Amino acid sequence: MSKHDRPHDPGAAASAAPAHGAGHGSGTHDHPSRSLFVTIWLVLGFLTAVEVAVPQVFNSPWNHTTKMLLLVFLASGKAILVAAYFMHLKWEAKWVRRIAMAPAYMGVAAVLLMIEEHFRPLFS
């Protein structure tokens, strides 16, 4: 871009921003507000505090499964919040979302391997 193509005054540059904001991501959403981002940040902080408390509350062998499920649920929730709001996936087009979701296959592989490990004694 040549220098003369740039806006000459800050006002012009600033006025271009809202026009772009409306076209951000998939181009079909309003620009997310800062208060929304701060809310997500507070929720993430709260969930982190809950996560740290979970192993101390569920610290007996008999409630190990509860602890595991709770922690995986909390971590998944936090990851989804970061991806959806901070990474703007909520406002992206479907193929961008599909690309982003591809590594979730590793979660499926993990579940399949755990099932295989669980039923292995039956076939050995």
Binding-site ranges for another protein (CB under 8 A)? 1, 4-8, 10, 12-17, 19-21, 23-28, 31, 34, 37-38, 40-41, 44-45, 48-49, 51-52, 54-55, 67-68, 71-72, 74-75, 78-79, 82-83, 86-87, 92-96, 99-100, 102-103, 105-107, 109-110, 113-114, 117
* Residue linked to tokens 């904001």: 21
Least Å distance between CB 119 and another protein? 13
Contacts 24+ apart (CB under 8 A), 73-80: 74/47, 74/50, 75/51, 77/47, 78/44, 78/47, 78/48, 78/51
Instruction: Closer to another protein by CB, 114 or 119: give it.
Output: 114
Cβ 8 to another protein, closest distance in Å? 6
Q: How far apart are CB 9 and another protein at their closest, in Å?
A: 9
CA distances, 102 to each of 28, 62, 97, 108 (Å): 23, 35, 9, 11
Closest distance to another protein from the beta carbon of 103 (Å): 3
Residue 74 CB coordination number (10 Å): 15
Nearest to 96 by CA among 24, 18, 17, 19: 24
